[in-house]
Structure 1
Amino acid sequence: MLISLCVIALNEEKTIEHLLNDIKKQSFPHSSIQLILVDSCSQDDTKKIMNEFFENSDFFDIKVLDNIKKKQAAGWNVAIQNAIGDVIIRVDAHASIPTDFIEKNIKVLESGEDISGGKRPNILVNSTNWTELLLTAESSMFGSSIAPYRKSEEKKYVNSMFHAAYRKEVFNNVGLFNEKLGRTEDNELHYRMRKAGYKFCYSPEIVSYQHVRSSLKKMLKQKFLNGYWIGLTLGVCPRCLSLYHFVPASFVLALIVCSIISLYTPFFILLLLALYFSFAILMSFFSLKQTKKNSLVLILLPFIFFSLHFFYGIGTIIGMLAYPFKRKSLSLN
Structure 2
Amino acid sequence: MTSLVSVIVPCRNEAAHIGAFAASVLAQRLPAGLALEVVVADGRSDDGTRDRLAALAAADARLRWIDNPARTTPVALNRAIAAAQGEWIVRMDVHTTYADDYVAQCVQALQDTGASCVGGPWRAAVVDDGVVAPAVAAAFGSRFGAGGAASRRLDHTGEVDTVYLGAWRRDTLLRLGGFDEALVRNQDDELALRIVRGGGRVWQSAAIRSSYVPRASFLALFRQFWQYGYWKVAVIRKHRLPASPRHLVPFAFVATLTVLALAAPWSGIAASAGAVLLAVYATAALAIAAVPMPPWQHPWRWLAVAWAFACMHAGYGLGFARGLLDHVLRRRAGAQATTLTR
**Normalising by the residue count of structure 1, what TM-score does the alignment of the two structures yield?**
0.90
Worse-matched range after superposition: 104-113 or 243-252: 104-113
1:219 matched to 2:221? The reply is: yes
2:319 maps to amino acid: G
Cα distance change on mapping 1:272 and 1:325 into 2, 3 Å = closer
1:57 matched to 2:60? The reply is: yes
Provide Cα deviations, 1:256-293, integer angstroms capped at 9, x if missing partner.
1221332221211111111111111111112325x996
2:289 maps to amino acid: S
The answer to whether the 8 Å contact 1:174/1:196 transfers is no
Query: Please, which runs of 5 or more residues in structure 2 have no aligned partner?
Result: 335-342
How many residues of Structure 1 are paired with residues of Structure 2 in the alignment?
327
Query: Please, which runs of 5 or more residues in structure 1 have no aligned partner?
Result: none
- Offset at 1:159? 1.6
| Aligned counterpart, 1:16 | 18
The within-5 A match list for 1:218-237 is: 218-237=220-239
- Offset at 1:187? 2.2
1:208 maps to amino acid: S
How far apart, in 1, do the equivalents of 2:332 and 2:307 lie?
Answer: 38
1:121 maps to amino acid: R
Cα distance change on mapping 1:50 and 1:145 into 2, 3 Å = farther
The within-5 A match list for 1:242-253 is: 242-253=244-255
The within-5 A match list for 1:75-86 is: 75-86=76-87
Provide Cα deviations, 1:68-91, integer angstroms capped at 9, x if missing partner.
011111110000111110100001
The answer to whether the 8 Å contact 2:286/2:302 transfers is no
Cα distance change on mapping 1:328 and 1:254 into 2, 3 Å = closer
How far apart, in 1, do the equivalents of 2:225 and 2:332 lie?
Answer: 25
- Offset at 1:239? 3.1
User: Per the alignment, in what secondary structure is the counterpart of residue 96 of structure 1?
Assistant: strand
2:24 maps to amino acid: D
| Aligned counterpart, 2:40 | 37
Pick one of 181, 184, 193 that aligns with 1:182: 184
How far apart, in 2, do the equivalents of 1:49 and 1:126 lie?
Answer: 26
Pick one of 252, 270, 278 that aligns with 1:273: 278
How far apart, in 2, do the equivalents of 1:165 and 1:317 lie?
Answer: 32
The answer to whether the 8 Å contact 1:9/1:93 transfers is yes
User: Per the alignment, in what secondary structure is the counterpart of residue 41 of structure 1?
Assistant: coil
- Offset at 1:112? 4.7
| Aligned counterpart, 1:138 | 140
How far apart, in 1, do the equivalents of 2:205 and 2:128 lie?
Answer: 29
Cα distance change on mapping 1:73 and 1:326 into 2, 3 Å = farther
User: Per the alignment, in what secondary structure is the counterpart of residue 37 of structure 1?
Assistant: strand
Cα distance change on mapping 1:7 and 1:127 into 2, 3 Å = farther
How far apart, in 1, do the equivalents of 2:277 and 2:131 lie?
Answer: 30
The answer to whether the 8 Å contact 2:133/2:217 transfers is yes
**Normalising by the residue count of structure 2, what TM-score does the alignment of the two structures yield?**
0.88
Cα distance change on mapping 1:277 and 1:225 into 2, 3 Å = same
1:305 maps to amino acid: F
How far apart, in 1, do the equivalents of 2:247 and 2:144 lie?
Answer: 13
The answer to whether the 8 Å contact 1:261/1:268 transfers is no
Provide Cα deviations, 1:26-82, integer angstroms capped at 9, x if missing partner.
1116971111011011221322222222122263xx321010011111110000111
1:192 matched to 2:181? The reply is: no
The within-5 A match list for 1:272-311 is: 272-288=277-293, 294=298, 296-311=300-315
How far apart, in 1, do the equivalents of 2:161 and 2:260 lie?
Answer: 35
- Offset at 1:328? 6.8
The answer to whether the 8 Å contact 1:18/1:96 transfers is no
Provide Cα deviations, 1:82-120, integer angstroms capped at 9, x if missing partner.
111010000112111110101111222232524321122
The answer to whether the 8 Å contact 1:249/1:316 transfers is yes
The answer to whether the 8 Å contact 2:132/2:304 transfers is no
User: Per the alignment, in what secondary structure is the counterpart of residue 92 of structure 1?
Assistant: coil
How far apart, in 1, do the equivalents of 2:154 and 2:125 lie?
Answer: 17
User: Per the alignment, in what secondary structure is the counterpart of residue 122 of structure 1?
Assistant: coil
The answer to whether the 8 Å contact 2:127/2:133 transfers is no
Cα distance change on mapping 1:154 and 1:307 into 2, 3 Å = closer
CA RMSD of aligned residues (A): 2.4
How far apart, in 2, do the equivalents of 1:234 and 1:196 lie?
Answer: 16
1:55 maps to amino acid: A
- Percentage of identical aligned residues: 24
How far apart, in 2, do the equivalents of 1:209 and 1:308 lie?
Answer: 19
| Aligned counterpart, 1:324 | 328
1:315 matched to 2:315? The reply is: no
Cα distance change on mapping 1:12 and 1:141 into 2, 3 Å = farther
How far apart, in 2, do the equivalents of 1:130 and 1:218 lie?
Answer: 11
Cα distance change on mapping 1:164 and 1:232 into 2, 3 Å = closer
Provide Cα deviations, 1:142-196, integer angstroms capped at 9, x if missing partner.
2234221222423211121112110112112211111112212122222222233
